[in-house]
Amino acid sequence: MSLLAPGGLPAGLDTPALVVDEARLEANLARTADTMRRAGVALRPHAKTHKSVEVARRQRAHGAAGLTVATLGEADVFADAGVDDLFVAYPLYASAAKAPRLRALAERVALRVGVDSAGGAAALGDACPGLAVCVEVDSGHHRTGVAPADVVGVADAARRAGLRVAGVFTFGGHGYAPDMPPGAGADERDALAGAAAHLTEAGYDLAVVSAGSTPTATYSARPPVTEERPGIYPFYDAQQLALGSCTVDDVALVVAATVVSVGADGRRVLDAGSKVLGADRPAWVRGHGLLPAYPDVTPAWLGEHHGVVDVPDGAVAPALGEVVALVPNHVCQVVNLADEYTVVRDGGHVGTWPVDARARNR
């Protein structure tokens, strides 16, 4: 029985709740690990999605080389749990508050950190001499990172600051739109290849050429890329369905919600609003998530505690009091809003896992 079918959730669940199908999770972990193994590329999953020590343990069991995190706070949680190889894929600014935390982390795990400016490199070097860094390359997302032609300047500043330049990384976030993942994956590979060539020419010996996101990972996983950092693949979500990263049978996490109100126009209101689902809704998804058991209805707008579902005339819709399974748009946000996962196997509740690194944003 699928989580996504009517009646597929365990009976008696209190809602709203995040429900994980353990068998699907395992299948997703195995499939991506296998894809990367066959591509000859290391898998370093981004733990900002799951924030879970238990999911991280399973990723390592499937051969992950280490973890990617976004913040020192996330790194601390996974280091405490015994993960000994971490990449903070973020241009961390080593302020007076962060410097001692960074030094303490570097003393206990194999660590690398992102950098995208001479000023950032200087602060990192002051904070943590000898730290390994990867220079961030902008492959088209235009968020952080420098153009491939500018990586040598940042690397030289890092070397002058006493840092060790281990490699380059990018995030092809412009792949988050329909039909864009193949091109964005190619952009990642091209930008990294260009950056790596500049650095090699300048005498740097690069161990790490790191790309990736769940939609682009299969497209950029070839030389000179040495590792991929997808985050969402353990669970998938409605955005990944729209991007073609997975099928609906791969979705391993749903939000269980109860219909608390039925409007005069037939609308259903769920007890999961933006404080549970997040508010991410790009123009290329239909609504605020999907209700696979009720394909003709649309979660149209959210209050903080209200998910308002439009029901067209004649559409089959859930009844007052019914518990439904909703596939959220962006699972990273959803997990960060929750304290725990409810884990099920074969339709039965088998336990809860804490969201260990929830809200570790600094």
261 binds its own copies (CB under 8 A): yes
Phi and psi (nearest 5°) for 233? -55, -25
Cis check for the bond before 16: say yes or no (omega within 30 of 0). yes
362 binds its own copies (CB under 8 A): yes
Q: Which of 8, 45, 66, 91 binds its own copies (CB under 8 A)?
A: 91
Binding piece for its own copies, criterion CB under 8 A, among 103-111, 156-164, 191-199, 271-279: 271-279
303 binds its own copies (CB under 8 A): yes
Give, in order, the Cα–Cα distances in Å from 108 to each of 70, 236, 361.
Answer: 18, 32, 20
Task: Judge contact between 181 and 245, C-beta under 8 A.
Answer: yes
56 binds its own copies (CB under 8 A): no
- Residues near 169 by beta carbon (within 8 Å), at least 6 away in sequence: 87, 89, 114, 134, 135, 136, 137, 192, 208, 209, 210, 211, 229
Least spacing, CB of residue 246 vs its own copies, in Å:
20
119 binds its own copies (CB under 8 A): yes
The one-letter amino acid code at 18 reads: L
Least spacing, CB of residue 181 vs its own copies, in Å:
17
What's the angle, vertex CA 128, arms to CA 125 and CA 130, rounded to 5? 75
Binding piece for its own copies, criterion CB under 8 A, among 21-29, 93-101, 186-194, 197-205: 93-101
Q: Cβ-count burial of 177 within 10 angstroms (0-12 exposed, 13-18 middle, 19+ buried)?
A: middle
Q: Which of 213, 218, 274, 298 binds its own copies (CB under 8 A)?
A: 274
Binding piece for its own copies, criterion CB under 8 A, among 96-104, 154-162, 201-209, 222-230: 96-104
Q: Which of 332, 334, 341, 344 binds its own copies (CB under 8 A)?
A: 332
210 binds its own copies (CB under 8 A): no
Q: Which is nearer to its own copies, 159 or 349 (CB)?
A: 349
Q: Which is nearer to its own copies, 24 or 169 (CB)?
A: 169
123 binds its own copies (CB under 8 A): yes
How many CA atoms lie within 13 Å of 75's alpha carbon, on the beta-carbon side?
Answer: 28
Q: How many CB atoms neighbour CB 287 within 10 A?
A: 19
Q: Which is nearer to its own copies, 228 or 271 (CB)?
A: 271
What stretch of H or E contains 64? none
Q: Which of 127, 137, 146, 311 binds its own copies (CB under 8 A)?
A: 146
The one-letter amino acid code at 355 reads: V
Tokens of 136: 């961030």
260 binds its own copies (CB under 8 A): yes
**Rounded Cα gap, residues 311 and 317, in angstroms:** 7
Which residues of this chain interact with its own copies, rule CB under 8 A? 12-17, 48, 70-71, 90-93, 95-98, 116-117, 119-120, 123, 142-147, 150, 173, 258-265, 269, 271-272, 274-276, 278-280, 303-306, 308, 320-321, 323, 332-333, 336-339, 359, 361-362
